[in-house]
A and B are shown apart, each in its own frame.
Chain A
């Protein structure tokens, strides 16, 4: 008999993966704000790797793309209720 309790939320047990590696995406387009919206939170901040599971290589690319997108006013720097 184990002393560790069963986790309440089974979903939290699922292994995270890098979506870019998994689907073979090589380039993240900064001109596509609809896609980049998945990688930011409601305030428009870039989601950390510990939440999205993105690998470091692609997290750098994500950050670069989001910043370029913001510069071109395709995405807000600060927002409230983006989603």
Chain B
């Protein structure tokens, strides 16, 4: 089984309580772990203003997972996103080698140091 690099971002509704948000994030994390995916990095941006309203909501809770996973599992993950009412938006992308390198550099804080040449 060939593992590939993926990155998944989802937005949860802002109506959830702190505990409910944590539960939802935990649920998807468990889903990833159960599928045999190796989580490389996880990031919670927290509550953020949306650029345009989604389902009449103006804010959303952003959560990002970067993982090494089985390509067959992505469809299952996205189906779970669609079935979960707490998720208002999601995006899963396959990462190429440049993206993996970039994310690693970003974690070390090497990105965008020079204001004139923001590496993005």
Contact = CB atoms under 8 A, between A and B. Distances in A.
A81 B99 CA distance: 31
Given A27-B99, A27-B102, A71-B91, A76 B51 contact: yes
Contacts of B106: 29
Interface size class for chain A?
A: 20 to 34
A28 to B, nearest CB: 6
A25 interface: yes
B117 A23 contact: yes
B25 interface: no
Given A26-B102, A27-B102, A32-B120, A76 B91 contact: no
B102 A29 contact: yes
A27 B11 contact: no
Interface of B: 9, 11, 50-52, 54, 60, 62, 64, 89, 91, 93, 96, 98-99, 101-102, 106, 112, 117-120
Given A23-B117, A35-B118, 20 more contacts: A26-B102, A27-B98, A27-B102, A29-B120, A31-B64, A33-B51, A36-B120, A68-B91, A71-B89, A72-B62, A72-B89, A73-B11, A73-B51, A73-B52, A73-B54, A73-B60, A73-B89, A75-B51, A77-B52, A79-B51
A23 B106 CA distance: 17
Contacts of A77: 52
A83 B62 CA distance: 25
Q: Which of A33, A72, A73 has the most CB of B within 10 A?
A: A73
A74 B93 contact: no
Given A68-B91, A73-B89, A23 B119 contact: yes
Contacts of B52: 73, 76-77
